[in-house]
Each structure stands twice: as C-alpha cells, then as structure tokens.
A and B are shown apart, each in its own frame.
Chain A
Amino acid sequence: MGRAIVITSGKGGVGKSTSTANLGTALAMLGRAVVVVDADVGLRNLDIIMGLESRVVYTSMDVIEGTCDIEKALVKDRRVENLRLLAASQKNNKTDIQAKQMKELCLELKDMFDYVLIDSPAGIEQGFQNASVGADEALIVTTPEVAAVRDADRIIGLLQSMEINDMNLVINRLSPNMVKAGDMMNQQDIIDILSIKLIGVIPEDQEMVVSTNRGLPLTHDRRSIAGDSFKRIARRLEGEELPIPTFKPESWFGSLFDKLFNWG
C-alpha cells in the first residue's frame, strides 16, 4: 500500500502545483513509483507544469465515470521512468466529483504506486475536501506572507477535523534578502504560528517561473538550489534525517561560494 499525500495551502499561487510536480519528479528519481493527481477539476494545470499537456487523453473524470480503465488514463512522464500523471477534467466542475468517488480512486492508486501525490485546488470548499478525503497525510505549502500563513493555519485546522494529523510544512519562495531586511516573515515566525513539522524550505528562484513555463520541473536541473531543495524534501519523506539549511542573504562571495562548493 502506497502513501497518499495531499499538497495543499488554502491560498492560491503559493506553489502547490509546482511543488507537486517537482516532488513527484524527485521521488521518482529516487526510484519510487509515483503518480501525481491533479485534483483541480475545471482549472487543471499540473499537466502544463510537467510538460505533458499534449499527451493527456483521459482524465480522472473518465476513470470515475467508467469511460476508461485507470491504466489508460495515466500519462507517462517524458523523462522519468516511473512517474505518471492523472490529469483533471477541464470541462467539468469541482462539484461533479463526490468525496466517496475520490476516496475510491485514491485507494486504487495506492495499490499501484508507492506515492500518490494529490495536487489540491486553492480554497476550503468541495475541491479541497475532495482532494484531501483520500489522503493519509498532508504537505502544507506556504510562502512567507502573512495572508498565506493565515490560510495555511485555517487549512491545518480543517485537516485535523478530517482526522488527517500527519502534516509537514514546506516554506516556498523564501527570500533571504527580504528576511534580513525585516520585510518578510522568517522561518521561525511561521513555525511559531503553524506549529507543524518543517520538511523543507525552497528559496526564491526566478528559474522556477521559466521551468514551469517550459514544462520541465526544476528538479531536473542539477545546478538549481530550488530544485535541489525538492530533492531533499523527497529524501526526508523517505525517512532520511537531513538538516534544513538556513539560506543566507546573497553576496557576491556567498553566491560564488554556493557555486563552488556543495552547500549544507
């Protein structure tokens, strides 16, 4: 039986889909059988971020309605052998799928894969409920913004009421320069409020936008620190004890140092 993990945040635009794509890639690169499920029915984009848009024929809606077999709907990744995508239907609505159907789908996928990563839509309505109902654990993605942390806190409360108590926190788009200037919440501020286990910090990286536009997760780029951060989260999910590095503000020497040496 695999692990079903919902990737969620409450607020939109904090990097749920990007995290799902990168983490799925990283786990598959470790040799795990992984499926990433787009649960954002009606606003699908996980397929775009993964560069698989043109290969999608069937969606989770087709599987639920019995139009096709689950194997047929799973899209094979272009680069990593054991990575699959189950796309969301773009023409349907979030209320077209019932919680019970989603739960059954997750059970079926858990039988086939080591990891089932469910990309949740923003919000706290049925789309979020459907994305979470089949999950055993959750990955909460937030950015160092007061509004994002507030929404993450709300989501954690809702997940607890759904009896999902195994939760890890990813802080995305941390900018060390802004933290130093006092313009951004730091790691500790966020953990103080959310009080769940931190599993990774992704530094702000403009390359991330480029990579999502190209449909090539940054995890493939061996020089990318953000990509590397996702690989480290994958190893922590696998049970490895890895320290979480603190990111220093950029100086010319610092960035040179980062480039020359393998950091933290």
Chain B
Amino acid sequence: MIDGGTEVKNMLRPVVELKGYRDGLRLIIDPEASMDRIQLAIVDRMANLGNSLAGMGLNIDIGDRSLSDEELTHLSNLLHKNYGLDIKRVIRESDDQTPIAEDLRIIGAPALHQEEHAIDNQFSPEHEETLFLRNTLRSGQVERFLEGNIVILGDVNPGAEVTAAGDIIVLGALRGVAHAGALGNTSSVIIALNLLPTQLRIGRFITRPPAGGKRKRRQAEVARVNGESITVEEFNGL
C-alpha cells in the first residue's frame, strides 16, 4: 500500500504504479520520467511479484506523454519476457484514437473521463471492493480479482486457483492454490474454515504444507506473513 501524506506523495510520486481495475491490471507510468527510469522502476516494482501475474492482460496508462512504437515494443518485450504480462491497451490523455503499434496488437484507448476515473481510481484499504463467489471452485477453474478481496461461499478444490489483490476468505475447505496480496501487499491474509492448501502465496512469499502431513482440523485458520515467511495459526479474529 502506498503511504505518506499528500505532500510527500506528490514529491515522491512513484515512476510506475501497478493497480487492479475492473478492466484488469494497470501499469501507470509517470509522464515526466525518462524511459530508462521507467524500465528500472518496472524491474523494481515487479521484483516482489516474480511471474505470479503471468498470463494476465495489462493496460498501460501513459497520461499525456508520447510513446513511440519502438519504445512500446521495448516495454512490451520487457514485460512479456520477464513477467509473462501482455500489454492489451495503452491508455492516454490525447484524443487521438488511432491504433498504436498495430503489429503488436495493442489498442490505443482514450483516458477515462475525470469522474469515472475518480470512481475507478481506488485500491486503498478504505475503498477496496470484495467479490463474493457462491460456488465451489473445481479443478481447472481460476478466479482472479485484482480490485480487492475475495470471499468464497464454498470450497476451493485441488487444481483450482484463486488470486486477489487483497484478502482471500474461504467459507469452506481450501485445498487448491490461493494467492492473496497478488499486487505485492504482504499484509493480506488467507482465511479458511478448513485450510488444506496445495500452496499458499501472499505477495512474494510462497509456502506449501509439509509433505505427507494429513491434517483434518475443523478449526478456522489464518495464514499471514510473519517476518520473512508465511505462518498459519488458528483464527481468533484479526
């Protein structure tokens, strides 16, 4: 989460920001920064995430800067090769709606109107949203929600995957893979009535249950980052 007062925030505005929106992941680039700084900032921002977001589409918000085809190709390669992210759209302030980089199949899109932007522009604890799923996720099913938290009224079966930018709460058995804080928020938690996961991820941390252990607990448990690793304990309120 980005912290600090408004003044400090303005001064230290990050060169790139990664946020979850209704239409997918968005990489917001400081219009003033040089390409070199942008590249460094992307590497820096993604260092925590590895390739955990691989396969997702990405929109780039370039504000009022201009971006040559060459620069865009470069960014596209960087994001694709290292993190498995594919640029879908380039969002920009200008009214010019001609397609950008047609051979890359990247579409140019105008920036959203100011008021829409205001509604959409939130991933902070006060404004985060929560997705409710009222069914069991079965093997092969993937659920991703990058605007906030996921609550599942059912099970997450082995072979199923659930990813959220915030917390993941399973009112059932969690047997598959869960990734909370997927945009890097290591204060996110994973809670399940029956926590028997294949693998747990919070931010950049990954853990799996000890081999061979067959636990059958009927006690809700919470997984959270403690220091440099994920720990699991009985859930007695946060």
Task: Report whether A151 and B139 are in contact in the complex, using a CB–CB cutoff of 8 Å.
Answer: yes
Number of A-B contacts (CB under 8 A): 28
The distance from the CB of B197 to the nearest CB of chain A, in whole angstroms, is 14
The distance from the CB of A250 to the nearest CB of chain B, in whole angstroms, is 25
Q: Which residues of chain B come closer than 8 Å to A150, judged between CB atoms?
A: 139, 158-159
Task: Report whether A195 and B155 are in contact in the complex, using a CB–CB cutoff of 8 Å.
Answer: yes
Closest chain A residue, CB of each to CB of B137:
A157
State whether the Cβ of B144 lies closer than 8 Å to any Cβ in chain A: no
Task: Report whether A156 and B138 are in contact in the complex, using a CB–CB cutoff of 8 Å.
Answer: yes
Task: Report whether B155 and A157 are in contact in the complex, using a CB–CB cutoff of 8 Å.
Answer: no
Interface residues of A in 149-198 (CB under 8 A from B): 150-151, 153-154, 156-158, 160, 192-193, 195
A150-B158, A193-B158 known; A157 vs B139 contact (CB < 8 Å): yes
State whether the Cβ of B140 lies closer than 8 Å to any Cβ in chain A: yes
A193-B157, A195-B155 known; A153 vs B173 contact (CB < 8 Å): no
State whether the Cβ of B76 lies closer than 8 Å to any Cβ in chain A: no
The distance from the CB of A218 to the nearest CB of chain B, in whole angstroms, is 31
Question: C-beta contact mask, A191-209 vs B, less than 8 Å → 1, else 0?
Answer: 0110100000000000000
Q: Which residues of chain B come closer than 8 Å to A146, judged between CB atoms?
A: 158
Q: Which residues of chain B come closer than 8 Å to A195, judged between CB atoms?
A: 136, 155
Q: Which residues of chain A come closer than 8 Å to B140, judged between CB atoms?
A: 154, 157-158
| Complex-state Cα separation, A162 to B218, whole angstroms | 34
| Complex-state Cα separation, A154 to B139, whole angstroms | 5
Task: Report whether B173 and A154 are in contact in the complex, using a CB–CB cutoff of 8 Å.
Answer: no
| Complex-state Cα separation, A154 to B137, whole angstroms | 10
| Complex-state Cα separation, A193 to B138, whole angstroms | 9
Number of A interface residues in the complex (CB < 8 A) = 12
Closest chain B residue, CB of each to CB of A192:
B173
Interface residues of A in 92-143 (CB under 8 A from B): none
Q: Which residues of chain B come closer than 8 Å to A158, judged between CB atoms?
A: 140
Closest chain A residue, CB of each to CB of B158:
A150
A150-B158, A150-B159 known; A157 vs B141 contact (CB < 8 Å): yes
Interface residues of B in 135-185 (CB under 8 A from A): 136, 138-141, 155, 157-159, 173, 175
Question: C-beta contact mask, B127-138 vs A, less than 8 Å → 1, else 0?
Answer: 000000000101
| Complex-state Cα separation, A160 to B154, whole angstroms | 15
The distance from the CB of A72 to the nearest CB of chain B, in whole angstroms, is 40
Q: Which residues of chain B come closer than 8 Å to A160, judged between CB atoms?
A: 138
Question: C-beta contact mask, A24-48 vs B, less than 8 Å → 1, else 0?
Answer: 0000000000000000000000000
| Complex-state Cα separation, A154 to B160, whole angstroms | 9
Q: Which residues of chain A come closer than 8 Å to B155, judged between CB atoms?
A: 193, 195
Among B136, B138, B141, chain A packs the most CB atoms within 10 A around the CB of: B138
| Complex-state Cα separation, A150 to B136, whole angstroms | 14
Closest chain A residue, CB of each to CB of B138:
A157
| Complex-state Cα separation, A193 to B140, whole angstroms | 14
| Complex-state Cα separation, A190 to B230, whole angstroms | 29
The distance from the CB of B155 to the nearest CB of chain A, in whole angstroms, is 7
Among B141, B155, B157, B175, chain A packs the most CB atoms within 10 A around the CB of: B157
The distance from the CB of B225 to the nearest CB of chain A, in whole angstroms, is 28
Closest chain A residue, CB of each to CB of B136:
A195
Question: C-beta contact mask, B112-125 vs A, less than 8 Å → 1, else 0?
Answer: 00000000000000
Closest 3 CB pairs of A and B: A157-B138, A153-B139, A154-B139
Interface residues of B (CB under 8 A from A): 136, 138-141, 155, 157-159, 173, 175
- Can you give 13 contacting A-B residue pairs, CB < 8 Å? A146-B158, A150-B139, A150-B159, A151-B139, A153-B139, A153-B157, A153-B159, A154-B140, A156-B138, A157-B139, A157-B141, A158-B140, A193-B155
Interface residues of A (CB under 8 A from B): 146, 150-151, 153-154, 156-158, 160, 192-193, 195
